[in-house]
Structure 1
Amino acid sequence: MLKDGSLSLVLRLCAAALSLGTLTFVGRAFTAEDFGYFGTVMAMLALLTPICALGWPLTLTRYISQGFFSRVLVWRALRQSLSAALLFALIGALVLREWIFALGLVILPAYVALDLMAAIFRARGSFVRALVPRDILWRGLLMIGVWVVMSFPQGQQTSMLLVLAIPPIFLMAALQMRSLRDFEDCAPMDADVARVRHRIWISTLSGTLFANLDTLAVGAFCGVEVAGGYFAASRLGSIIVFVHSAVGLAVGPRLARHHAERNASAINADLRTAALMAGVPALVLFGVFVVAGGVLLGAIAPNAEDMQIVLLLLALGQVVNGLTGPSGLFLSMSGAEAQVARVSIQSLAVGAAMILLGAAVFGPIGAAAATFAVQSRSELRLWIGARSAIAHQGGPA
């Protein structure tokens, strides 16, 4: 666990550094309007990728980790997910008034393909193949692209960056998919895979909608320039998410295997180690944001300096996420995905109302406060559910 978690953490921290570097570069090089468009397009891709993935990434991680691999089913997952992505891209090209958003949707199929392939490699223990393409290479290429488009006129920089980004990300997706030829079938997939996938997709969809709703709500009620500042605060606070997700990437396959072996003590040990590895860095980073959050935001983008309260509220929600450990992931890996789906749907319903109301009445701070409150409640409910599940499996809660 420590070895896999440490490797995953190093790779995700490299990705976080590149992400922060790109964000700072864009915030300094682009106009406030272009920066707002960049943030909105990135949030749109983050929102639509798990929608189009149809629950397949986590489903494949669960079953492949337990020793099941069906090449036919994997290709079916890719066909279904890519078809959904292409449909979204086509609809966007036809109905979106801002053509820059339609251009961003062209990247969506490659995002989805890389997401599925990362899940497969992660389940097979290849964290480098899982994380390097989109987490590191893609962010590095984006930074190079920002430097290239700085010479273009203002108002065209984000659109030209997206044009330059299309060929390399599709090349990375194609190379990842090509490696499927080297895999061998181990055993047929569980017959319940369709039911499991639907439940996982519902929880993933709900969680993703909730995670990106605040930025979109701020853009709708406060304008694209304010949304750019909020996006900067959200992405700076998400450095904590990089740490938490790195631990989850390593522990997810292990939890699936331990559940199949009915090894409650190993599940407990991995959950506690994961909470420690995610929670301590989260607290340290939160302290940094308390002391120097405004300065860091100002370094990223001049119009984001007054978003420190927003940053602290969003970061505090991620601290709760880290300290409670990967409880939702464990439930999804152990047959309790229906419980995760229920919590996610309820959180989305309550969160949508609170975030929209908060953004409309109190602006960015209202949206961030609503996000923190709903996210914390959701994580605590999942933590209680995980404790109960472990107790029923025969281990100490």
Structure 2
Amino acid sequence: MDGSTPGPRHVLTRTVLALGLKGGIVAAGFGMQIILARTLGPEGLGVYATFLSLATVLSITGGFGMPMAAVRFMPVYIANGQETRLRGFVHAAQRLTLATAIPVALAFSLVFLSLPALREQFGAALAAAALIPVFGLATLAAGMLQALGQPLRADVLVNLARTLLIGMFVLLSWWFDQAGPVTALWLTGLAGLVAWAAANTAARRSMPAGAAGPRTQDERPIWISAGMTFVLAMASVSLIERLDTIMLGALVGAEAAGIYSVASRLALTVALATTSVLALMAPALARQAAARDRAGLQRSASIAVALALLLSLGVAAVLGGASPWLLPAFGRDFEAAAMPLAILLVGQVAVAACGSAGGLLALAGLNRPLIAAALAAVILDMALCLLLVPVFGPVGAACATVATLLAQAVALSAVAWRSLGVDPTLLGAVRLAWRSLRPDAGHEGTP
């Protein structure tokens, strides 16, 4: 494998296929969310969404950043024929995930057990704690499949299968009159466990040299260092995406959090366009970053932002237009999510126009700016939520999320330009396209 940039037509074709699959995942997610909303009600859904958000964020911490590390290191080892390092990384990544996820889960559950004010929610906390190692391992398996050039299979096995299983399990619990937020959390863990088993088996069977054989872990300190950086960056993005729901539940109430969680989940569908493109481009970006191919990085980043923005606009337009009919499907109370949804949709499109600077910096191994941006974004989001949520409720939560995501995206794009000489934003794509149309474009060595 070389480090060449996939052509726009190739990326567009695979991205359309990926989005077709993700469309199925989104449809399944809508169905699952409707089932949860109808069976749990706004308040029960708020409890479920709040603890699921906490478990998701903590599973990134427990995962120790190994899913992104897999995307960074595995394509390089495969391209260079370093099979022993490849096997060593996979073995170490799984052990690191378990070694961090289990203590995080125990600490989380102990907090609710030891504090009298939180003890009544210990049942939900215990179920959420069980999700942390399961989600960590499943995300790692998905990252391995992505690094092996199989992002569509990762989506099918981890996202689609898990979503369908959750919906089926919750329906069965309702049929047997056992539906509730705690039960739904335990069933989510069971679905995640099945999805991890399938994805992990597929990843091991797809490794060039197989899972067995000698292993080399001489780069383990580098993997750990990268993982610590990735976990901060990934956790900050995940926390920012879910802190609004968590803060609404804490400051306003579970019912408001449940209604808002529907708008948040729908809006995150727009981000699938960016993640779909990045998932397809990540192996090439990792190789280009390792080869210090600045021109290749710029071409790849420009293709990615152009396609991501185009697809984001389409998804946002469909969701915005369908919202008057879509939201009532969750129940009459969920029509109140219309305004937060509109704000979040506009914000996600604006973020898409800023490009995937965070992923680019992570793959290039630029750790310090990612850490700084992650910490600053979390602090900003918490401050804005504390300021806006008590006054404006769900609308304030949506504004806080959009402002934070935009500030982080702009900051990381500026860092990518200064550190790599690459402009991952829409402006960079336009500039590159303009230069390619100039008569002397073929004589320029850099974009």
> Structure 2 length normalisation: TM-score?
0.81
CA distance in 2, matches of 1:205, 1:163: 23
- Listed one character per residue, the Cα deviations across residues 349-372 of structure 1 (whole Å, up to 9, x for unaligned) are 112111122112221111211111
Aligned residue number for residue 140 of structure 2: 116
Identify the match of residue 43 of structure 1 among 43, 53, 58: 53
How many aligned positions are there? 396
Q: Once the 2 structures are TM-superposed, how far is the Cα of residue 224 of structure 1 from its aligned partner?
A: 0.3
CA distance in 1, matches of 2:340, 2:159: 25
- Listed one character per residue, the Cα deviations across residues 131-189 of structure 1 (whole Å, up to 9, x for unaligned) are 222211110111112221223448x4333334444444324323444553723679766
Task: Check if 1:106 corresponds to 2:130.
Answer: yes
Aligned residue number for residue 159 of structure 1: 182
- 8 Å contact 1:133–1:172 — kept in the other structure? yes
**What is the Cα-based RMSD across aligned positions, in Å?**
2.6
- Listed one character per residue, the Cα deviations across residues 32-90 of structure 1 (whole Å, up to 9, x for unaligned) are 22222222232123211211111111112101121254323322222222233222333
Identify the match of residue 310 of structure 1 among 331, 340, 343: 340
Aligned residue number for residue 440 of structure 2: none
- 8 Å contact 2:64–2:228 — kept in the other structure? yes
Q: Please list, as runs of the form range in 1=range in 2, the aligned pairs for 1:62-73 lying within 5 A after superposition.
A: 62-67=72-77, 69-73=85-89
Q: Once the 2 structures are TM-superposed, how far is the Cα of residue 120 of structure 1 from its aligned partner?
A: 1.3
Identify the match of residue 90 of structure 1 among 88, 103, 106: 106
- 8 Å contact 1:218–1:227 — kept in the other structure? yes
- 8 Å contact 1:5–1:251 — kept in the other structure? no
Identity %: 24
User: Measured at CA, do residues 200 and 38 of structure 1 come closer, stay the same or move farther in structure 2, by a change above 3 Å?
Assistant: same
Task: Check if 1:386 corresponds to 2:416.
Answer: yes
Identify the match of residue 76 of structure 1 among 92, 105, 111: 92
CA distance in 2, matches of 1:395, 1:16: 42
Q: Please list, as runs of the form range in 1=range in 2, the aligned pairs for 1:341-380 lying within 5 A after superposition.
A: 341-380=371-410
- Listed one character per residue, the Cα deviations across residues 301-321 of structure 1 (whole Å, up to 9, x for unaligned) are 322211222112222221122
Deviates more, 1:292-301 or 1:342-351: 292-301
Counterpart code for 1:107:
L
Q: Please list, as runs of the form range in 1=range in 2, the aligned pairs for 1:207-356 lying within 5 A after superposition.
A: 207-356=237-386
Aligned residue number for residue 14 of structure 1: 24
Unpaired runs of 5+ in structure 2?
1-5, 113-118, 424-443
CA distance in 1, matches of 2:349, 2:152: 26
- 8 Å contact 1:320–1:379 — kept in the other structure? no
Task: Give the match's secondary structure for 1:30.
Answer: helix
Identify the match of residue 23 of structure 1 among 18, 33, 44: 33
CA distance in 2, matches of 1:395, 1:114: 42
- 8 Å contact 2:157–2:198 — kept in the other structure? no
CA distance in 2, matches of 1:185, 1:335: 27
CA distance in 1, matches of 2:383, 2:347: 18
Unpaired runs of 5+ in structure 1?
none
User: Measured at CA, do residues 395 and 186 of structure 1 come closer, stay the same or move farther in structure 2, by a change above 3 Å?
Assistant: farther
User: Measured at CA, do residues 251 and 221 of structure 1 come closer, stay the same or move farther in structure 2, by a change above 3 Å?
Assistant: same
CA distance in 2, matches of 1:270, 1:243: 16
Task: Check if 1:139 corresponds to 2:169.
Answer: no
Deviates more, 1:164-173 or 1:309-318: 164-173
User: Measured at CA, do residues 80 and 187 of structure 1 come closer, stay the same or move farther in structure 2, by a change above 3 Å?
Assistant: closer
- 8 Å contact 1:289–1:311 — kept in the other structure? no
Q: Once the 2 structures are TM-superposed, how far is the Cα of residue 12 of structure 1 from its aligned partner?
A: 2.4
Aligned residue number for residue 195 of structure 2: 172
- 8 Å contact 2:384–2:400 — kept in the other structure? yes
CA distance in 2, matches of 1:199, 1:166: 27
Task: Give the match's secondary structure for 1:377.
Answer: helix
- 8 Å contact 1:237–1:311 — kept in the other structure? yes
CA distance in 1, matches of 2:263, 2:69: 32
CA distance in 1, matches of 2:129, 2:412: 33
Task: Check if 1:53 corresponds to 2:80.
Answer: no
- 8 Å contact 2:270–2:348 — kept in the other structure? yes
- Higher Cα radius of gyration: 2
User: Measured at CA, do residues 258 and 5 of structure 1 come closer, stay the same or move farther in structure 2, by a change above 3 Å?
Assistant: farther
> Structure 1 length normalisation: TM-score?
0.90
- 8 Å contact 1:7–1:127 — kept in the other structure? no
Counterpart code for 1:170:
L
User: Measured at CA, do residues 153 and 34 of structure 1 come closer, stay the same or move farther in structure 2, by a change above 3 Å?
Assistant: farther
- Listed one character per residue, the Cα deviations across residues 228-256 of structure 1 (whole Å, up to 9, x for unaligned) are 00100100111101222111111112101
Deviates more, 1:355-364 or 1:23-32: 23-32
Counterpart code for 2:165:
L
